[in-house]
Amino acid sequence: MVDRWSGRTYIDGMDTKITASRLEALGNETRLEVFRILVRAGRDGLPVGEVQRRTGTARSTLSHHLHKLIGVGLVYQQRDGTTLYCHAHYPAMEETLGFLTRECCADAGADRCDAESDAA
């Protein structure tokens, strides 16, 4: 599989470097807030102006944070006439979460993962 944002080829799911770059991007409070807003918005996404309104972030600052999220593949933009929409890239989010959870407790030798009961 080829990751379209980095051009890297990886086998067996997510590559550590891609995951690290995505988690680094989400490690910023503003970017995490923007991403959560877009995830909550659903597949239709939101106009950039609405993201700006919801975050209260200056236009230039928001642009910087969106650029970072787009660069790691967590967000993409689509223009409809004069309106620029931002969308969470759900497959990238699922890959990133899957990278963190797919081997949970793999070396513990247990029939089921202890983390499952911790989450309840």
Mean pLDDT of 111-120: 60
The domain segmentation of the chain, as residue ranges, is 16-102
pLDDT digits (tens, 9 = 90+) for 13-40: 558 899 999 999 999 999 999 999 999 9
pTM of structure: 0.80
CATH architecture of the domain with residue range 16-102: Orthogonal Bundle (1.10)
pLDDT at residue 107 above 50?
A: yes
pLDDT at residue 118 above 60?
A: no
Res 117: pLDDT = 58
Q: List alpha helices for the chain, DSSP H.
A: 16-26, 29-41, 48-55, 59-71, 90-101, 114-119
The H or E element spanning position 45 is none
Sequence letter at residue 105: C
